[in-house]
Amino acid sequence: MAIAVRWADIDALGHVNNATFLTYLEECRDTFMRESLGDVFLDMVIVRVEIDYRAEIPVGTESVDVTCALESVGTSSIRTRERIVIPDGTVAAEALTVAVVRDRETRTSRPWTDAERRMLEHSELEP
């Protein structure tokens, strides 16, 4: 998905602040999970984010392309691969995220239901 680079995203060094990269990844991942899992998306909690910063996103960049793809499904978790690419094709960041589905009442992790697992199996698997 394309995400606009906002004025507030730029820091004093003249590029997108590193913390904002996480916001871009989150926007794309949230869309991916909502489309893959529907309302179950509301029960997901991020438990790990691993990010490799590859290049800066310089001031003047109007938008970036962000992708999120399912890498694997565990007993109660999913692992996604995510990427931020600037308009010239340069990869600005690559990330690995682990999210866990939780029970709303106990607020602890729970296993995927068979129906949820089927929804995930039909998710986009390409990076």
User: Is the per-residue pLDDT at 126 higher than 60?
Assistant: no
Distance separating alpha carbons of residues 74 and 65, to the nearest angstrom: 28
- Within 10 A of 105 (CB to CB), how many other CB atoms are there? 7
Question: Exposure string (b/e) for 27-58, b if CB count within 10 Å is 16 or more?
Answer: ebbeebbeebbeebbebbeeeebebeeeebbe
Distance in angstroms (rounded) separating the CA atoms of residues 24 and 35: 17
Q: pLDDT (tens digit, 9 = 90+) per residue, 26-47?
A: 999 999 999 888 888 889 999 9
Distance separating alpha carbons of residues 71 and 35, to the nearest angstrom: 16
Higher pLDDT: 21 or 118? It is 21
Tell me the β-bridge partners of 51: 95
Domain residue extents for the chain? 2-121
Mean pLDDT of 63-71: 96
Q: How large a percentage of the chain has pLDDT more than 70?
A: 97
Q: Is the overall model pTM greater than 0.85, yes or no? A: yes
Whether residue 125 has pLDDT greater than 70: no
The model's pLDDT over 69-98, given as tens digits with 9 standing for 90+, comes to: 999 999 999 999 999 999 999 999 999 999
- Angle of the 114-121 helix axis to the 18-37 helix axis, nearest 10: 110
- The CATH number of the structural domain formed by 2-121 is 3.10.129.10
